A and B are shown apart, each in its own frame.
Chain A
């Protein structure tokens, strides 16, 4: 390549920029990871008043958290909500993505925007709007929906839906529409063609969409704030409530469990589907 070097400005891949890039990456990782590491670390501290360095290490805080009904119930509620929201987002999102990917038709852009809108509207605004809507429904029908599990489930389905749509759509982008046509000409009925050809090829995207939808629901705070009620409170809200009155490593233990659930989800997702492809 001697003599063919172009006179263009030095690119980012040029060796001289390497230290800057590495430094930037390290700084970003430290910023993102240090609070997480700190929380996990603190959850094992012996002292009740969080101080540094710790006098010793213990698992007591995990036991204490597990013994507190509000954390247990919050965890279970969040898990159940996550599962319901994921199922709803799959049932609505997968067919929607299949239709959206098929091509141009009137209203396509509008439908796509609508399905992705929950990502854009600030959670607190959507939560408040949903709360008012549910109250109106209650007034009209006499059935309580706000501050019930199913009211929350509706909100969480909205949180989950854009993720399923987005990730399944991404997995369909690289899918050659002629594959289905090939299957049809070889004698496969449409459902068989879907089962044997389309489905195996989009499955990683669907799995990733489902896991991401679950995580989005599991960590949500804002949309749920107005909608929780006695007996139906999500884990993030229980954590916030507890923090109002006391700060001790119990909360770090709860947060660590939450982090573990989410990390497991993310790692699992990435194994099926490179997340970078969806954005």
Chain B
């Protein structure tokens, strides 16, 4: 186990740049998620770390060892593929033993470690089965066992949960997180699912069009998105293009005026974003002195279990979504057409 250092990593396909100067330092035992829409370069970056795709420029270090130009078999990474890629002609135990066999671990020791890792993923009773005799979730665990049994310097996971159904996915990701922290594995997890990334990762690397948009803890990524892309990609956001209209004031293109209290707002901000959960709605007149308000009309009320999403519309036609917790108060009193006042805390708006 060691820290991973990626510096100015670039992948070009002819004139097309699919990974553009990605730099990142990953601490020992850290769980990192690469998050982004498909085609953002996250899988290509992972494959370059594994050595399956050659890097066009830049460098990759595992600890003090530079691996940029090493073939995959000399890198000592463990990779779990999206489709698992289990060897169909080998039993579960043989699949798991493969990496040990390649490392010339003696037979007794190998058997002991295979048993150990199989009980870790709760598959000891299926050691003799062929992959095709297992369910999807079991195959996923074999793939994981196979990648961690030889204690790789880094564990790489390429959308490992995407082939599982929703309930299993949540279960497996919890299990994965537990294993990862128990074993202290430095882990990179590629996903396009923000829930997955937010719930398992120590830090998230948000990628778009080959570039790193932001690196931060799940909380930082969600609460303080660095770019408009991150704000829109992670969670729901009400976004208003426009420009600053004096200190602490923003005017949207459609004419709404917003007050905000963030001191760190960029002076050339071109968009303002507010999370729906920061918006509250009151009937009647604006609260006195409440600068952070908008008068609007209820357009739609959508019941969503834990919360109710209310979409309101300002006089100029801009839409704003509010998420109201159903535990707080009954919000079923709002009806489309009702006049309301939307308000938010002064520090809620994010400017880009």
B78, B86, B88: the one within 8 Å of A185 (CB): B78
Q: Is the CB of A184 within 8 A of B73?
A: yes
A183 at the binding interface (Cβ < 8 Å): yes
B51, B71, B83: the one within 8 Å of A178 (CB): B83
Smallest beta-carbon distance A204→chain B, Å: 11
Q: Is the CB of B102 within 8 A of A181?
A: no
Q: Is the CB of B73 within 8 A of A188?
A: yes
Q: Is the CB of B83 within 8 A of A176?
A: yes
Q: With A178-B81, A178-B85, A179-B85 known to touch, is A185 a contact of B50 (CB < 8 Å)?
A: yes
Q: Is the CB of A201 within 8 A of B83?
A: no
Q: With A187-B99, A187-B103 known to touch, is A182 a contact of B76 (CB < 8 Å)?
A: no
With both beta carbons as reference points, the residue of chain B lying nearest to A188 in the complex is identified as B102
Q: In the assembly, what is the distance between CA of A181 and CA of B50, in Å?
A: 10
Residues on the A chain within 8 Å of B233, using CB: none
Q: In the assembly, what is the distance between CA of A182 and CA of B75, in Å?
A: 13
With both beta carbons as reference points, the residue of chain B lying nearest to A176 in the complex is identified as B85
Q: Is the CB of A183 within 8 A of B98?
A: yes
Smallest beta-carbon distance A14→chain B, Å: 33
Q: Which residues of B contact A (CB under 8 A)?
A: 50-52, 71-73, 75-79, 81, 83, 85-89, 98-99, 102-103, 146-147, 150, 156
Q: Is the CB of B87 within 8 A of A189?
A: no
Residues on the B chain within 8 Å of A201, using CB: 88-89
Main secondary structure of the interface of A (DSSP, over half): helix
A179, A186, A192: the one within 8 Å of B99 (CB): A186
With both beta carbons as reference points, the residue of chain A lying nearest to B53 in the complex is identified as A181
Q: B71, B81, B85: which has the most chain A beta carbons within 10 Å?
A: B85
Smallest beta-carbon distance B132→chain A, Å: 13
Residues on the A chain within 8 Å of B79, using CB: 181-182, 185
Query: Can you offer 14 A-B residue contacts whose CB atoms are under 8 A?
Result: A178-B81, A178-B85, A179-B85, A181-B52, A181-B72, A181-B79, A182-B87, A184-B71, A185-B52, A185-B72, A185-B147, A186-B73, A187-B150, A188-B73
A116 at the binding interface (Cβ < 8 Å): no
Q: With A192-B102, A197-B87 known to touch, is A186 a contact of B150 (CB < 8 Å)?
A: yes
Residues on the B chain within 8 Å of A196, using CB: 98
Residues on the B chain within 8 Å of A197, using CB: 87
Q: Is the CB of B146 within 8 A of A186?
A: yes
Q: In the assembly, what is the distance between CA of A43 and CA of B321, in Å?
A: 90
Contact bitstring A172-207, B, C-beta under 8 A = 1, else 0? 000010110111111111001000110011000000
Smallest beta-carbon distance B49→chain A, Å: 10
Classify chain A's interface size: 10 to 19
Q: Is the CB of A184 within 8 A of B72?
A: yes
Residues on the B chain within 8 Å of A183, using CB: 87, 98
Q: In the assembly, what is the distance between CA of A14 and CA of B78, in Å?
A: 52
Q: Which residues of A contact B (CB under 8 A)?
A: 176, 178-179, 181-189, 192, 196-197, 200-201
Q: A187, A188, A192, A201: which has the most chain B beta carbons within 10 Å?
A: A187
Q: In the assembly, what is the distance between CA of A93 and CA of B98, in Å?
A: 29
Smallest beta-carbon distance B167→chain A, Å: 26
Known contacts A186-B146, A187-B76, A187-B150; can you find 10 more A-B pairs with CB under 8 A? A176-B83, A176-B85, A178-B83, A181-B85, A182-B79, A183-B98, A185-B52, A185-B77, A185-B147, A186-B98
Q: In the assembly, what is the distance between CA of A189 and CA of B146, in Å?
A: 17
Q: With A186-B146, A187-B102, A188-B73 known to touch, is A179 a contact of B87 (CB < 8 Å)?
A: yes
Q: With A178-B81, A192-B102 known to touch, is A185 a contact of B51 (CB < 8 Å)?
A: yes
With both beta carbons as reference points, the residue of chain B lying nearest to A189 in the complex is identified as B73
